[in-house]
Amino acid sequence: MTSITNDYYQVLGVSYDDPSAKIKARYRLLARNTHPDAGGADQGGLFTAYAQAYRVLGNADQRERYNESLGILIRPRPLRPGIDLHQRVIVTPEEAERGGDVPLAFVRYEPCSRCWLAGCQSCQGQGLLPTGVQLTISLSAQTRNRAVVFVEGQGGCSEPGGERGNLFVYVTVKEISR
């Protein structure tokens, strides 16, 4: 039988300043493995302990009262800002001259919302999931080699549910072989 602590943060394995989205993700991961209806064995009341901890920490008002009762003065931190990504697109001299829309496909690694970057079965222990992205970027007419196209909000996320960074696309104009 596993010993269960009275500190709800320790029960869920989260920090005092973790955002509510992380607490929710951690609870779901733990509860999924121990929920009796899902075929899990409620090992020594673990599922009940997880549910009770989440009932308190998952509610902003109850979490604040709980923290005050323990003398915890730390507030939950906001989600971390996104990460800027960089990609390259190769265009023909004709495309660069006339401008217009150009397709761009790349793989963006998304933080796993199931384990919150800790590594689990669905992300093969990496904490990140490769996701194919297909965008259309707009080139202005007479785009030059090494131009940079800024695409707002199409970068990476630092944490599940967080804002995306920006995408910087470096344009290479293909040289004509004669």
How would residue 44 be classed by pLDDT, with cut points 50, 70 and 90?
Answer: low
CATH superfamily of 8-70: DnaJ domain (1.10.287.110)
Range in 34-48, 65-79, 113-127, 134-148 with the lowest mean pLDDT = 34-48
* 67, 151 Cβ separation under 8 angstroms: no
Task: Please list the residues that pair with 151 across neighbouring strands.
Answer: 167
Alpha carbon distance 25, 53 (integer Å): 13
Give the list of residues 6+ apart from residue 86 with CB closer than 8 angstroms, or none.
Answer: 167, 168, 169, 170
* Residue 71, token pair as written in the block: 């003398």
Fold of 85-173: HSP40/DNAj peptide-binding domain (2.60.260)
C-alpha triplet 65, 44, 11: angle, nearest 5°:
30
Q: Is the pLDDT of residue 97 over 90?
A: yes
Q: Can you list the pairs that 104-108 forms with residues at least 24 positions away whose Cβ atoms lie under 8 Å?
A: 104/134, 104/135, 104/136, 104/137, 104/169, 105/132, 105/133, 105/134, 105/135, 106/132, 106/133, 107/131, 107/132, 107/133, 108/133, 108/156
Q: Residue ranges of the domains in the chain? A: 8-70, 85-173
Helices 60-70 and 46-57, axial angle in degrees (round to 10): 100
Alpha carbon distance 56, 141 (integer Å): 57
Q: Is the pLDDT of residue 56 over 60?
A: yes
Supply the pLDDT for residue 117.
Answer: 85
How would residue 175 be classed by pLDDT, with cut points 50, 70 and 90?
Answer: confident
Q: Is the pLDDT of residue 99 over 80?
A: yes
* 31, 114 Cβ separation under 8 angstroms: no
Alpha carbon distance 126, 112 (integer Å): 9
* Residue 43, token pair as written in the block: 């090992």
Report DSSP state, residue 74: P
Sheet strand arrangement including 167-173? 85-91, 167-173, 148-151
